A and B are shown apart, each in its own frame.
Chain A
């Protein structure tokens, strides 16, 4: 049982480049989340999804897009990367009525 898997684990982008981060969960969870974490800060919610085909904005959605075409996958896209998007990105999932959230190991993104 892999849990929540994030791909890639590390990436360096140039300003203006685009990329997609993949989050995959094998627990059949309904809810999935993308967070970012900056040095010395807590996690901030970017976008979330309450089920296949649905997405919603979180606290810091600007500059990001998401898609949930399949229940097990939640994609985070950066259309035109900026240095301010340098961060560690975490994906999480949880089920109903289970209240425990499971997190991936993170993706460390650097935009130069």
Chain B
């Protein structure tokens, strides 16, 4: 699975859009991009995933560049409850395959009031 690079931490003002970048320059054509988040040492929570097209759900939007070497997770109207560590994961196996996903250190997003 391709490696990912994320900023260690980011700040965002409450009510603004939070844009979390992820670099995956070695991604191959059949690898998925997954995003999970972990709020204050709770269990991680699935947010969204995509392969080639941009995706949107009730929580967030995922924008994948045309060359697929990077992506951005967008939380459209960040609230204080969105303060969490956000993990970007790339895997060729849907859901990470039998042995699941590999979690790195992620980005600590802090929403400022």
Contacts and interface: CB of A to CB of B under 8 A. Distances in A.
Contacts of A99: 49, 94-95
B100 A92 contact: yes
Nearest to B43: A103
B102 to A, nearest CB: 8
Contacts of A42: 87, 102-106
Contacts, number: 60
Main secondary structure of the interface of B (DSSP, over half): loop
A40 B105 contact: yes
A74 interface: no
Contacts of B49: 99
B42 interface: yes
Interface of A: 4, 31, 33, 35, 40-45, 48, 50, 56, 58, 88, 90, 92, 94, 97-106
Nearest to B93: A99
A48 B43 contact: no
Max count, chain B CB within 10 A of own CB: residue among A33, A43, A45 = A43
B43 A105 contact: yes
A39 B22 CA distance: 22
A40 B105 CA distance: 7
